[in-house]
Amino acid sequence: MKNLAWINGEVCDLHEANVPVEDRGFLFGDGIYEVIKIYNGKPFYLEPHLKRLQRSASAINIEIPYSNEELNEHIAGLINQSECDHGYIYMQVTRGCAPRGHLFPGGIRPTVLIYVRAFESVPSRELTEPADCITLPDERWMNCYIKSVNLLPNVLAFQKAHEAGASEAILYRPDGTVTEGTRTNIFALIDGVVRTHPETRYILPGITRGIVLDILKQISVPVSEEAFKVSELQEASEVWTASTGLEIVPVKTIDGKPLKEISPGPVCKRLAGEFWQVVDAECYGGKQ
């Protein structure tokens, strides 16, 4: 496996890749990104990721100088050159390089970066160990639907969770409404209905979140894109997180208190199995 990077059409070793000091992504966080999982040498749900990348770029007035079809080809070529079977693709687009100034500079070309990294081992098909979570105020900006590289509030919240012995922080607005995690979407089974925050500017519309919603509907589990409060979490029968990087992770404690039922619960277990069927169909030809 070779860790390679693609920057504006040029391929190099990842450790030799660099961008100029005056790139606006470095100076201002003026950029957006995506992370795509690779299973069996194939990018998982690539098209939805690319559509979200374009949507984020449009929201901050960046015109990506490549079509989705071209990006698809470059990604496939990079995976092939990297000889990666299981890993992830990181994509970042910034407004480009220009002398430092707050106004958008004219006449510059966006910086497009793509790189591939391998996982140390094949992703497990078993549910991971149930997670301990804490709750924290959501101190991020008001446009979380944009997958911006400005992740400092997420990083600080995740660090607090780590220092508290937890693996994720569940974020909530001033009125107690749960939004999402630092890097995950949050689902809770409350009074027999799976609930998750609706798609608004306060959350990132996760690709895995969408897959989870589709699966729940297909297996006839009651589900509602309806926000819930921190106070309702302790009444939930099941809670889990969903993300591209971590897939589906059951939660066993919140702020040191165990959930009402043993984790993982039956809905989460079935959901995880169905999720891997989606992966098999997408990346293994349904042969696993």
Q: Are residues 38 and 13 in the same domain?
A: yes
Structurally, the chain folds into a number of domains equal to 2
pLDDT score, position 288: 55
Q: 166: domain CATH number?
A: 3.20.10.10
Q: Are residues 197 and 255 in the same domain?
A: yes
Q: Are residues 166 and 232 in the same domain?
A: yes
Single out the residue in 53, 84, 118 at which a domain terminates.
118
Burial class from Cβ neighbours inside 10 Å (0-12, 13-18, 19+) for residue 238 reads buried
Single out the residue in 63, 86, 118 at which a domain terminates.
118
**Please, which residues have CB within 8 angstroms of residue 159's CB and are 6 or more apart in sequence?**
none
Give the span between the Cα atoms of 228 and 178, in whole angstroms.
6
DSSP annotation of 142 reads: S
Q: Bridge-partner residues for 223, per DSSP?
A: 194
Q: Are residues 63 and 137 in the same domain?
A: no
Contact call for residues 236 and 190 (beta carbons, < 8 A): yes
Q: 109: domain CATH number?
A: 3.30.470.10
Q: Are residues 97 and 141 in the same domain?
A: no
Cα end-to-end distance, the chain, whole Å: 23
**Please, which residues have CB within 8 angstroms of residue 65's CB and are 6 or more apart in sequence?**
109, 110, 112
- Taking alpha carbons only, the member of 130, 136, 99, 88 closest to residue 20 is 99
> pLDDT tens for residues 23-32?
999 999 999 9
Query: What values do phi and psi take at 155, rounded to 5?
Result: -60, -45
Residue 125 within a domain: no
Distances (CA, A) of 77 to 2, 88, 193: 13, 14, 43
Domain housing 50: 4-118
Burial class from Cβ neighbours inside 10 Å (0-12, 13-18, 19+) for residue 182 reads buried
Q: How confident is the model at residue 287 (pLDDT cuts 50, 70, 90)?
A: low
Q: Are residues 75 and 138 in the same domain?
A: no
Q: Are residues 12 and 76 in the same domain?
A: yes
Q: Are residues 136 and 268 in the same domain?
A: yes
Q: Are residues 112 and 71 in the same domain?
A: yes
DSSP annotation of 49 reads: H
Strands (E), the chain: 4-7, 10-13, 31-39, 42-43, 87-94, 111-118, 131-137, 168-172, 178-181, 185-190, 193-195, 223-224, 238-243, 247-254, 257-258
Residue 172 within a domain: yes
pLDDT score, position 84: 94
Contact call for residues 140 and 171 (beta carbons, < 8 A): yes
Residue 91 within a domain: yes
Q: Are residues 170 and 86 in the same domain?
A: no
Residue 229 token pair: 């409060």
Residue 49 within a domain: yes
Q: What type of residue sits at position 25?
A: G
> pLDDT tens for residues 205-264?
999 999 999 999 999 999 999 999 999 998 999 999 999 999 999 999 999 999 988 889
pLDDT at 180 over 80: yes
Single out the residue in 93, 118, 143 at which a domain terminates.
118
Query: What residues act catalytically?
Result: 147
Q: Average pLDDT for residues 261-287, to the nearest whole number?
A: 93
Q: How confident is the model at residue 126 (pLDDT cuts 50, 70, 90)?
A: confident
Q: Are residues 253 and 159 in the same domain?
A: yes
Residue 123 within a domain: no
Q: Are residues 13 and 82 in the same domain?
A: yes
Q: How confident is the model at residue 123 (pLDDT cuts 50, 70, 90)?
A: confident
When the pLDDT of each residue in the chain is averaged and rounded to a whole number, the result is 96
